Amino acid sequence: MSSKKNKRILFIADHASNYIPSSLKNLGLKDNQLNSHIAYDLGVKELCINLSNLLNSKYIIGEYSRLIIDLNRDITDPTLIPEIVDRKIIKKNLNLSSYYKRKRISEIYNRYHRNIKKTINQNNITVLISLHSFNPIFKKKKRNIHFGILSNRDHRLSDYIITEMKSNKLKVGDNEPYEGNLIGDTMYKHGLKNNLHHTLIEVRNDLLSSPTKIHRVSVLLKKVINNSINRI
């Protein structure tokens, strides 16, 4: 990966959408809940598309709400189809039959991950970057970071990105506000297992609350990512 032209990036946004088919009747939730962080990562779809354009890269976004099925979980994870999120009961996910579980896995989860695998193989992808966003407030306390860089046991690219962000005086967390070593998640499945350089970038979602802010973060991350992968 010494040649700049060989560093082909794929951006992924597992939780980009809050779409729930009408047949599921909002999973029993109110509209304001479906427009909140429990249903999807605010601002990430637009950020993902912006970055792919700025860096002339491929991208794949999740097309359904994580409340239907969480694409960033192992297929055996008990939270794959969540029943409680942020202390809110997801009524339509309670006592879900095996048939409907298999249906969601087949039609949404497996299709998504097959698409990632196919895109990596057909485009000689060498760098995999997953984009997420997080709430600025947790348990009534403001999180004091702008970005969180999550990594598993392969933290080569993550370390470069953290160093680059710190050099730009950004407040960045290393495996904050979440841990990045979840067995079977998207980066484990497609990054670690394929020995690709990979990282997960969490952005505090108040920094993505308008098109102007999303553009600002996109330009900033373009610089950070470019400088980081060129050090590989």
DSSP 9-66: EEEEETT------GGGGGGG--HHHHTSTTTS-TTHHHHHHHHHHHTT-EEEE--S-T
Query: Residue 203 pLDDT > 60, yes or no?
Result: yes
pLDDT 10s digits, 77-135: 999 999 998 888 898 999 999 999 999 999 999 999 999 999 999 999 999 999 999 99
pLDDT band at 1 (very low <50, low <70, confident <90, very high): very low
- Provide the CATH number for the domain around residue 225: 3.40.630.40
Pair 146, 207: CB distance under 8 Å: yes
- Name the domain count of the chain: 1
Q: What is the value of pTM for the model shown?
A: 0.94
Instruction: Give the pLDDT confidence score for residue 4 in this predicted structure.
Output: 44
pLDDT 10s digits, 35-54: 999 999 999 999 999 999 99
Instruction: Give the pLDDT confidence score for residue 3 in this predicted structure.
Output: 38
Q: Whole domain around residue 53: which residue ranges? A: 4-229
Q: CA nearest 47: which of 195, 210, 232?
A: 210
